[in-house]
A = this chain, B = another copy of it.
Amino acid sequence: MPFPQTEIPGRLQKQLAGRGIRMTAQRRAILSVIEMATKHLDASQILRKARRVDATVDRSTVYRTLDLLKRQGLIDELDLMHIKGEGHYYERRLDRDHIHMACLRCGKITEFASKTFDSLKKQLERDCHFHIVVSRLEVGGYCSGCRR
């Protein structure tokens, strides 16, 4: 999970509030969980952690907040090749896009930012006259430790 060099705590909350979105105790709890995360979390993990901050948080509020953050472009939703189960994973969206690689054997997730990926997207925008808002490149395969 990529981290910015210097992160102001509560930044996510400020970004939302700055867009005129109402701040609630439940949202603050969920946002703090996402902000402090050191790995990709799924909805049930976010719920569990958020409840330690505010015990009233309900499952549906987590899903609704994740949906809000997605629509606002503040988080990205990942499949991670559905290595375990059908669920989705979430991570904060930072300045630089990155690729996710999931090892089909050991389950390790590797992240990688690539210049070629950036130019591929530029090329897509030019060649297909498509304005890209969000992009997701995920690959499944075998990591250096697991390939033979």
Contacts and interface: CB of A to CB of B under 8 A. Distances in A.
A136 interface: yes
A79 B77 CA distance: 10
B131 A147 contact: yes
Contacts of A128: 101, 110, 112, 144
B141 A131 contact: yes
Q: Copy number of this protein in the oligomer?
A: 2
A135 B137 contact: yes
Interface in A107-148: 110, 112, 114, 116-117, 119-121, 123-124, 127-144, 147
Interface of A: 77, 79, 81-82, 86, 88, 99, 101, 103-104, 110, 112, 114, 116-117, 119-121, 123-124, 127-144, 147
